[in-house]
Amino acid sequence: MGVVLVYALCFALFCICVNSQSVTLVPAIITFGDSVVDVGNNDYIPTIFKADYPPYGRDFKNKQPTGRFCNGKLATDITAETLGFTSFAPPYLSPQASGKNLLLGANFASAGAGYDDHTSLLSHVIPLSQQLKYYKEYQVNLAKVAGSKQAASIIKDALYLVAAGSSDFVQNYYINPFLNKAYTPDQYSSYLVGIFNSFIKDLHGLGARRIGVTSLPPLGCLPATRTLFGFHESGCVSRINTDAQQFNKKINSAATQLQKQLPGLKIVIFDVFQPLYDLIANPKKSGFTEATKGCCGTGTVETTSLLCNSKSFGTCSNATQYVFWDSVHPSEAANQVLADSLIIQGIALIS
């Protein structure tokens, strides 16, 4: 353990040196997935899953909502800064996704999306299959800006981030009686992992070589999940956490096989379950005071701007004390803890 900590410390110091010279450890960051990584694509589509109203973004630069489901930065924003980026890759559907901004990468994520395209269709958001089509468009546009040779180099050396699966369970499987009668949680996990396999193979076929994928978080500990599915159970909903852990085992196994099968692929499954669970189980250890509800409104069911907005009752004054910003998404302070963990776990992707 001591060697690991020394290695991590050396890496952090190296990052600081890199940051001071405005050099990035990867040329671009390209992101797919759901609301934990969406930086504003949903602002440009007709869906209720938006975060373009206050108080979202109240602790972000300029104190303005950007479409991020957070009071401030996402874990991926903090990771990008640690890797030396001073600007973030834009949401692909925004006007900012043009010209030299494309050199930073692009974000295709859409809040409410899942591995299962049916999950996205229920929420009227951008399915993962469409996100991949947008990525193909991005490659064409990048070549126009950078030239084919530099574009190919960026595509090959970029860091690819994928975060999905939570919406498949919380917004689809657990509330869809047809789906949860047709599949056991274990069977549905296998179905999703099959889609994950195909997605990674397609991404690899399009040139991606460094891919980081988040595991499922402790879904049973989300304030919304406790409210909707807890049935007076104290603490986290254990059966839902068990489902998440079983999915995580399957996706880890799948990633191991993919790395053996696909030439040149580096893939890491980032464990977000344990670091977030530790924050929730013992918030005071990391300086938090509240882990059972979010900062915005009642903190028990607010997951969109329709419920978490400037008129929300009782929105907290200091989000740094809360593990959750709304009833599903971590606060910037919690995202900082998660980002610290992701950097250590992801050293293999950028070495």
Q: Residue holding tokens 């030299």?
A: 100
Active site (annotated) includes residue 34:
no
Active site (annotated) includes residue 124:
no
Alpha-carbon torsion angle 71, 82, 342, 93, nearest 10: 60
Which tokens hold the place of 195? 């889609």
Residue 286 burial (CB count, 10 A): 15
Separation of alpha carbons 36 and 68, rounded Å: 8
35, 94, 120, 331: the catalytic one is: 35
Q: Which helix (H) or strand (E) holds 121?
A: helix 117-123
Strand segments, DSSP code E, in 218-342 are 266-270
Q: Which helix (H) or strand (E) holds 163?
A: strand 159-163
Beta bridge partners of 268: 212
Q: Residue holding tokens 């991606």?
A: 208
Q: Residue holding tokens 């040139």?
A: 207
Q: Residue holding tokens 């990867």?
A: 26
77, 167, 168, 329: the catalytic one is: 329
3-state secondary structure of 87: coil
- Which of 81, 141, 85 minimizes the C-alpha distance to 108? 141
- Which of 22, 24, 34, 39 minimizes the C-alpha distance to 158? 24
94, 110, 326, 327: the catalytic one is: 326
| Burial of residue 30, with CB atoms counted within 10 A of its CB: 0-12 exposed, 13-18 middle, 19 or more buried | buried
Q: Residue 90 in contact with residue 103, Cβ under 8 Å?
A: no
Could you tell me the CA-to-CA distances from 4 to 18, 134, 339, 344 in Å, in that order? Answer: 21, 38, 17, 9
- For helices 75-82 and 2-20, the axis angle rounded to 10 degrees is 70
Active site (annotated) includes residue 305:
no
Residues involved in catalysis: 35, 326, 329
